Amino acid sequence: MIVPSSVRTQQSPSGARTGALMDPAHSPIFVASLTAVCALIVVIARICFSTDVEAAAFSSGVIAAISFAHGMTLFVILGRDRITMPGLFMTSSAAIVGVSGLLVIRDPSFIVGSHPEVYLNTALFGSTLTQIGIGMLCLRSDSIGRPHEVVLPIRCVRWALGAGVITIAATVLLGDRLGVLADGFGSAAILLICIAILLSPRGLKNPWNTVTIAGALLVYPTAIISGTGRLRAIALILAAVYIFFLRYGRQWLKVVGVFLAPMILAVLGVWRREYEASLSGEHGNDTGLSSMFVGIGNFGSLIHDFDLGGLPTLGASLLSPLRAALPDGFAPDWIPDAIGYQLAALTDPQLYGTGFSTVATVYGDLWWNFGALGLVIGVPLLAVMLDRIDSWTLRIYRRAVQGPRDLLLLVFFAALLGGVGDIVWSGFHTWIVRMYARIAALVVLWLLTFYLPRRIIPQFVSFQQGEPDRRADNVDSSADSLDHRRRRTAQYVKFSAVSEPQ
């Protein structure tokens, strides 16, 4: 049975803003209070540091703690029972700014330039204020709760499982011969399997489906990326978890996730330490998380460089994904290298030009392009982008029942959304470039759908004349009985005879 996806929210289409304001967690008073309190604490901590240099560690610690608390709070609040892309951005910022800041405070010596504690404090101050501003706008625009269930036709599920398994097998067999495409093909295929199972008629009611999803996710770090690319593994997990929450989400599960986050970070650190030790017999540091917190340190180095006369690139580095999309030697000189390669000249000059790349967080990326003004520009830019991608993903989720092609489109948006950690960690370049291989895999799978028999794709017909389109209504249907929903569904959904086996 296929259930249409009218969105379950707390407001009508004409009163979307009114409904959002009725929620205490999204009322103007709450939004203003949370924003003002967090910003005030950050500003006071900064002022205390500026009047007492000895208070640098304490000031930075307070700012980092606010980043963590603010980000995790918004992760729980935004979307209510479901997870949102703005919420994932907030929790990623809480980790890469908040947690990383607390780790760097103990040893800021790797920040290039004199007085590293000064520039670390400035980096934390700018990043956290920007995070708070983005969170304010996202809270004001957040109005859609968890939608009704979307259940895929069983034939579509079978196609997805078959296509996914074949793609994974081919990826593992070809191995290094796929080059940079291996990660994208493996990730897209595993995500296709996970989404198909999560949206299958029985879903997680069948324990074997849960086992299959867990097994598919384990294939990625063990057989596809083999110990590297923790953020790529996280992106895959976040994409699958996002779909899980669309069908099964509860707000208390998000709270549990907040408490599990430190343990997950610790496990990722151990994973990285073991991988580094297997290569050289040594590892970078005791936590194994140096690649995570190096970004906020490099942002501090970037601020120091600007104090010495460095100039912003005025948006030029935002063109760098175009260079990665072109074959070697075909990119024009006016397209710069990624910011990570250019930052190496500042942070690791001995490695500059060797292919070494580093990161400075999305806040450092904005600073690199427009200086301090970039952080101001980034508030509405990121808030709108995160909100729009989240809304588009919901819209495609409702259409996924229409067949494999719409299901593949949902996989694309889920993968795009799951990569939000890449945005926070390194800016826009890594996020966009890592999508190239995933898009290539989805294009191959999309081409295969042209050879599908039409009988596996349900046929939707238009409404009767004068019948309003209620499929996208934002109405509260929590009181709808199952019988009433079935009668309403029968008014506008029909399946052609070819949807049944001959």
Q: What is the pLDDT along the chain (502 residues), one digit of tens a residue?
A: 444 433 344 333 333 333 444 577 778 899 999 999 999 999 999 998 776 767 888 999 999 999 999 999 999 999 999 999 999 999 999 999 998 888 888 888 778 888 888 899 999 999 999 999 999 999 998 888 888 889 999 999 999 999 999 999 999 998 888 888 888 999 999 999 999 999 999 999 999 999 999 999 988 888 887 656 778 888 999 999 999 999 999 999 999 988 887 777 777 667 666 666 665 555 555 556 677 778 999 999 999 999 888 888 888 888 889 888 888 778 888 888 888 888 888 888 888 878 888 899 999 999 999 999 999 999 999 999 999 999 999 999 999 988 899 999 999 999 999 999 999 998 999 999 999 999 999 999 998 887 765 555 544 433 333 333 333 333 333 334 444 444 444 443 333 333 333 3
Question: Using an 8 Å Cβ cutoff, are 352 and 345 in contact?
Answer: yes
pLDDT of residue 199: 95
Question: Using an 8 Å Cβ cutoff, are 294 and 340 in contact?
Answer: no
For residue 135, is it within any domain? yes
What Å distances lie between residue 194 and 89, 225, 282, CA to CA?
Answer: 22, 18, 36
| Single-letter residue type at 22 | M
pLDDT of residue 286: 58
Domain that holds residue 68: 9-141
| Single-letter residue type at 74 | L
Phi, psi of 475 (to 5 degrees): -120, 150
Phi, psi of 474 (to 5 degrees): -95, 75
Question: Using an 8 Å Cβ cutoff, are 440 and 184 in contact?
Answer: yes
Indicate the length of the chain as a whole number: 502
Tell me 463's DSSP state: P
Token digits of residue 497: 């005879």
Predicted model pTM = 0.83
Longest dimension (CA), the chain: 81
Q: Positive or negative, the Cα torsion across 280, 284, 288, 292?
A: negative
Tell me 499's DSSP state: G
pLDDT of residue 53: 66
For residue 26, is it within any domain? yes
What Å distances lie between residue 17 and 10, 27, 29, 471, 475, CA to CA?
Answer: 10, 10, 15, 20, 13
Distance CA 266, CA 95 (A): 12
Q: Positive or negative, the Cα torsion across 66, 67, 69, 75?
A: positive
Of 129, 130, 132, 110, the closest CA to residue 120 belongs to 110
Give the long-range contacts of residues 277-284, CB within 8 A, separation 24 or more: 278/227
For residue 20, is it within any domain? yes
Token digits of residue 501: 């086996």
For residue 465, is it within any domain? no
For residue 213, is it within any domain? no
Distance CA 40, CA 27 (A): 20
Question: Using an 8 Å Cβ cutoff, are 25 and 142 in contact?
Answer: no
Distance CA 28, CA 40 (A): 18
**Helix H or strand E segment including 7:** strand 7-8
CA atoms within 13 A on the CB side of 348: 15
Distance CA 114, CA 19 (A): 52
**Which residues are paired to 7 by β-bridges?**
474
For residue 380, is it within any domain? no
For residue 98, is it within any domain? yes
Question: Using an 8 Å Cβ cutoff, are 337 and 157 in contact?
Answer: no
State the angle between helix axes of 116-141 and 28-51 in degrees (0 to 180), rounded to the nearest 10: 170
pLDDT of residue 465: 35
Token digits of residue 490: 């029968």
For residue 94, is it within any domain? yes
pLDDT of residue 20: 41
Distance CA 374, CA 130 (A): 10
Of 361, 395, 392, 391, the closest CA to residue 378 belongs to 361
Total number of domains in the chain: 1
